[in-house]
Chains A and B, each alone.
Chain A
Amino acid sequence: DVKVTQSSRYLVKRTGEKVFLECVQDMDHENMFWYRQDPGLGLRLIYFSYDVKMKEKGDIPEGYSVSREKKERFSLILESASTNQTSMYLCASSLLADTDTQYFGPGTRLTVL
């Protein structure tokens, strides 16, 4: 059974703080993704990664960076948090071999004050 976990369910930060969101998957998946979910806007891709140390920009990468030092772990970094980054952040993973099911983590509700 695929398990994708995220470091926090709820997080409150202040404007200007550096924020780290972590995602870990235990199924040896090559692909990992970070999405942002806002009401009425669906799931918007921030960054994704096909392999260790690889990263690709999604549709809304501005204000974010990512790190993938190990295959099972994908981190999303907000260098200087702003109030418009208040949102639900979802991590997902999938196999590389073919377009395959994406398995989502439980999400992190981030509030930036």
Chain B
Amino acid sequence: GENVEQHPSTLSVQEGDSAVIKCTYSDSASNYFPWYKQELGKRPQLIIDIRSNVGEKKDQRIAVTLNKTAKHFSLHITETQPEDSAVYFCAGEGSTLGRLYFGRGTQLTVWP
């Protein structure tokens, strides 16, 4: 099956700085890569996703890039705010329809 690795496991930034979280995947058949945000004590929620037919997708301060050749994708958060503090999970689809393979998560802390 798919293997998704995520780095770093923890990330601390100053408010206003940018944050980048990187993931690699193993299954070249994967075509869908979502990112989930989990605030403390809450459920994971989708914040952005990308499919393999595009290289980049943006939604206000967050963006995701995908390099299918190198099999890696990244989450970029600009102008970080304290409310961005959370655990972020990347995931890949693999070849099993509907199933996601999650990375181990990145704890992002934004200091005011």
By a beta-carbon cutoff of 8 Å, the part of chain A in contact with chain B is 31, 33, 40-45, 48, 50, 58-59, 90, 94, 96, 98-102, 104-107
Contact = CB atoms under 8 A, between A and B. Distances in A.
Contacts of B97: 96, 98-99
A20 to B, nearest CB: 20
B104 A41 contact: yes
A45 B97 CA distance: 14
Nearest to B33: A99
B98 A96 contact: yes
Interface in B77-103: 89, 93, 97-103
A99 B104 contact: no
Interface of B: 1, 6, 9, 31-32, 34, 42-46, 49, 89, 93, 97-105
Contacts of B100: 99, 102
In terms of DSSP, what is the predominant structure of the interface of chain A? Answer: loop
Contacts, number: 50
A43 B89 CA distance: 9
B106 to A, nearest CB: 10
A91 to B, nearest CB: 10
A104 B44 contact: yes
Nearest to A99: B32
A88 B31 CA distance: 29
A27 to B, nearest CB: 14
Nearest to B30: A99
Top 7 A-B pairs, shortest CB-CB distance:
A42-B104, A104-B43, A43-B102, A99-B32, A31-B98, A101-B46, A42-B105
Contact of B98 (A90, A99, A105, A107): A99
A90 B43 CA distance: 8
Contact of B49 (A41, A48, A101, A105): A101
A59 B98 CA distance: 15
B42 to A, nearest CB: 8
Contact of A45 (B9, B43, B99): B99
Contact of B44 (A48, A50, A90): A90
A57 to B, nearest CB: 11
A45 B93 CA distance: 13
